[in-house]
Amino acid sequence: MRVLYFSDNASEHNRRFLEKLSEAGLDVWFLDPTSDRPPENWLPKGVHWARTRQRMRRDVLPAAFAKFLTEFLDCVRAISPDLIHAGPTHNCGYVTALSNFHPWLLMSWGSDVLYQTSQGPDWRQATELALSKADAFFCDCDTVRAKAKQSVDLPDSRIVQLPWGIKKGSFAPDGPRPDEAEFAREPGTRVFLSTRSWDSLHGIDTLLEAFRRAYRSDSSLRLLLLGSGSDAVQVREFISAHRLDRAIRLPGHINKQDMPKWFRAADMYVSCAQSDGTSVSLLEAMASGLPVVVSDIPSNREWVAEGQNGWLAPVGSAEQFAERLLRAASLSPEQQKLFSERNQRIVEERADWDRNFPKLLKMYEQLVAPQVAP
C-alpha cells in the first residue's frame, strides 16, 4: 500500500507516525509544504520526501493555504497513492478535501478541532468541509471525537481513536539523569518540569505567574522550563524582573533521546495549556512516575483524577495553579510513591503505542480494500 502522509510540520509527533507506517511495510511518502527539506537525520528509514516548489506558512488562513491545491494535485498524480493521510484539519485536511481524492483519512491534531475552529468562520468552515469529505477520521481522545461529531454527523464506523501514546519502556522512573553540568540539583528542593512551548496557547504566562506565587510561599520550589517558543523574550524578562533566575532553570532545547532523563530529574510535571488533545508530554510524565498538575480541560480529565494521580486547575488561573503546585510539593514520600505507581499503571494499560497503533493500520486496510476489490 502506498500512503501519502500530508502534514504541516516536521515534528517528533509526525516522525513517530511515519516510522510506524514504514515499519508496517507501507510505501510512505511525506509531504510538508512548510519546509524545503526535513531536519537532518529526521526522516525515518524507508520514508520518501515529497519535494514541493512553493512554501506555505502553517499559520495562514485556510483560504491562503488552499493556494497549494494545484501543486498538491501534481504531487498526487506523481506519487499515485492508494491512500492519503492528512492533517491538521484546517489546512492539509482542507486542501485534501478540495482535491476530491479518495480514499483519505483526516487526522486531527487536537487544537485544530478544539481551539482553532473558534478563531473565525473561515477556520470553522474549512474544518467542517474536511470532516464531511474525509472517508475516515482519526483522533486521540473522546474530547476531540465529541467536538468533531458536533460539527459533522460522523458515524462511529468512520472513526479510529487512539492516544498518541509512547513506546513501552521508553519513559520510566529508573535510569540516567542529567549530570551536574546540565542541572545541579540543590538538596532539599522540589522540582517541577514543563516541556510545553513558550506561547499563550500553552499558558506560559499562567505558568510563570503561578510559579512566582508558589515560590513566594515555598522557596524550596524549582522549575525546569525546557525548550523555547514565540514568547521567549517575555519569559526571560519575567524571570529577570522577579529575580527568579535561581529558581527557574532554562536548559534549552533537549534532544528527544535525552528527554527521559529530564523527566527523571523532576518530582512533578506541570502544564497550563489552554487546549489539548491527549498530550504526549503528559503521558511521558505519567510513565516516568511523576504526579501532574495540568489544566482542567476535558482531554486532561480523561487521564487525571483530582487528588488521585494529580491535580486540575482552571485555565488561566495563576492563583489556582499556584495552590495546586503547593499541594503537589507537599506530598509525603508515601503519597508520591502511590501517585507514581498509579500514573505508570494508567499509561501501561491505555497508552502503549505499539499495542494501539494497529487500530490505525486496520482503518487503512478498510479504506483501501473497496478500491482494490474490483
Nearest to 103 by CA among 74, 129, 52, 137: 137
Provide the pLDDT for residue 296: 98
Provide the pLDDT for residue 79: 98
Q: Map out the domains of the chain as residue ranges.
A: 2-162+357-372, 190-350
What is the third-level CATH fold of 2-162+357-372? Answer: Rossmann fold (3.40.50)
DSSP 8-state secondary structure symbol assigned to residue 198: S
Provide the pLDDT for residue 371: 64
Cell of 105: 483519512
Mean pLDDT, the chain cut into blocks of 10 residues (374 residues total): 97 94 97 93 96 93 97 98 97 98 96 87 95 97 94 94 91 94 93 97 97 98 96 97 97 92 98 93 97 97 96 98 98 97 96 95 93 47
Whether the CB-CB separation of 275 and 140 falls below 8 Å is answered with no
What is the third-level CATH fold of 190-350? Answer: Rossmann fold (3.40.50)
Provide the pLDDT for residue 72: 98
Burial readout 349-370 (b: 16 or more C-beta within 10 A, e: otherwise): ebbbbeebbeebbebbeebbee
Provide the pLDDT for residue 373: 43
Distance CA 313, CA 320 (A): 6
Whether the CB-CB separation of 297 and 321 falls below 8 Å is answered with no
Nearest to 290 by CA among 299, 278, 303: 303
Nearest to 34 by CA among 2, 62, 68, 78: 68
pTM for the model stands at 0.88
Q: Do domains 2-162+357-372 and 190-350 have the same CATH topology?
A: yes
Distances (CA, A) of 158 to 94, 132, 254: 18, 11, 38
